[in-house]
Amino acid sequence: MNGVVVSGVGLHPFGRFEGVSTTDMGVHAVRAALREAGVKKGGFQAAFCGTAYGGVATGHKVLSRIGMTGMPIVDVEAGCASGGAALMLAAGAIRAGQYDTVLVFGTEKMPRGIIRSSFFEPWQEEAGLAATPAFFALRAQRLALTSGVTKDHLARVVVKNRRHGATNPDAMYRKAIAAEEVLASRVVCEPLHLFMLCSPNEGAAAVVLTRERPGAAGVTLAGAVLRSHLPGAVLSESTPLSGLTDDAGPSPTTLAATAAFEEAGLGPGDIHVAECQDTDAARELLSYEEIGLCPAGGSAAFLESGATALGGRLPVNPSGGLLSKGEPLGASALGQVVELVRQLRGQCGDRQVDGARTALSHTVGRGANAGVVILTH
């Protein structure tokens, strides 16, 4: 996708913030992104706001607060990929010539505990078939059978991401953790222990996209794709009650990644740094395979090689990932994009991936919704 650049990014840290509203966090992130982009009132022609739990007109409340309304403001809900969906819509509109500059942001305050989702029918909740961690656990168990992923591998993903996150001032958990501590935390759903699951929390992120102009240097948005699921995979993020034994079709993540690589004219081997959905430790490993960062069945070996740790060939989740940052649904995808833009600009200090020129962001969740964004510099 030539012609769209990221001219500014902003973030409200991810965590729990008593007395700070969804609107407050959105304002914080939006102001920072607009300031960085040098965009003032009247300087953007549309705004897209990712949120899942924010409620009616979340985007309007943020932009009303800073006196910037009148343009179309559209709230976008695509589960964990809400920010990716908003980016795709904004970039497409710029590319089509509809707008020159678009504000994209996400803001969220998640309920505490296991996420309650209106996606499920009341009887599914009543019968215990709406237990999100159980679906993660079933996927992890299948990954053990297809890819040789052990509990030690799952713990190792957590150790890696928490080590990365320890140097990220915007993360919720900023303390490294040992594999023994991960494995000593309580079992939520076998084989997943508590510390292998990310925490739903609060935060906001914002990005200003602008049509590329001659002589303007910056990070290019090379691809931004959202995809839903094809039916058939019983453990797909579409969370069906049944699937087929013959389920060899592509996952939503594979569909989105394939289209994003095509849009960017790049392949998995060209990526220097990635942020991947690590709602649970097994999900990160599955993402390696579904995106094509490693061969199918090869995620455990890829992790063991050290390739995805800082200093490796393809660091994944240098921000610490959702396992360190926590997950505010509407803001999580844009949080990844903010991190990757800063990585490509060389602004990440101790967690900087040296010489990174290409980056990939991946989010996937209920719907199914999978978002893949590719950035180049």
Partner 1 sequence: MVRTGLFTEGDPPALLGSRCASCGTHHFPRHDTCPYCAVEDPEPVDLSPRGTLWAWTTVTAPPPGYRGETPYGVGVVELPEGIRVIARLTESDAGALEVGQSMELRIVPLHTDDEGRTVVTFAFAPEGAP
In whole angstroms, the minimum distance from the beta carbon of 246 to partner 1 comes to 7
Report how far residue 139's alpha carbon sits from residue 155's, in angstroms, rounded to the nearest whole number: 16
CB 367 within 8 A of CB 238: yes
Output 244 or 296, the one with its CB closest to partner 1. Answer: 244
CB 242 within 8 A of CB 358: no
Output 198 or 334, the one with its CB closest to partner 1. Answer: 198
Output 138 or 166, the one with its CB closest to partner 1. Answer: 138
Helix axes 281-291, 151-165, angle to 10 degrees: 90
Output 74 or 234, the one with its CB closest to partner 1. Answer: 234
Residues ≥6 apart with Cβ < 8 Å to 261: 223, 267, 268, 292, 374
In whole angstroms, the minimum distance from the beta carbon of 64 to partner 1 comes to 32
In whole angstroms, the minimum distance from the beta carbon of 248 to partner 1 comes to 13
Positions that interact with partner 1 (CB under 8 A): 113-116, 120-123, 125-134, 137-138, 141-142, 145, 186-191, 231-232, 234-235, 240-247
In whole angstroms, the minimum distance from the beta carbon of 128 to partner 1 comes to 5
Known active-site residue 80 = yes
For residue 28, the SS3 value is helix
Q: Give the tokens for residue 363.
A: 């989010």
Report how far residue 177's alpha carbon sits from residue 158's, in angstroms, rounded to the nearest whole number: 8
Output 126 or 262, the one with its CB closest to partner 1. Answer: 126
Report how far residue 141's alpha carbon sits from residue 48's, in angstroms, rounded to the nearest whole number: 37
Query: For residue 331, which of 6, 26, 46, 16 has the smallest C-alpha distance?
Result: 26
CB 278 within 8 A of CB 284: yes
Query: For residue 196, which of 250, 253, 263, 141 has the smallest C-alpha distance?
Result: 141
In whole angstroms, the minimum distance from the beta carbon of 160 to partner 1 comes to 24
Catalytic one among 80, 198, 294, 348?
80
Query: For residue 321, which of 290, 272, 285 has the smallest C-alpha distance?
Result: 285
Output 125 or 262, the one with its CB closest to partner 1. Answer: 125
In whole angstroms, the minimum distance from the beta carbon of 132 to partner 1 comes to 7
Tell me the residue ranges of DSSP E strands in 33-144.
Answer: 46-50, 73-76, 101-109
Q: Mind telling me the catalytic residues?
A: 80
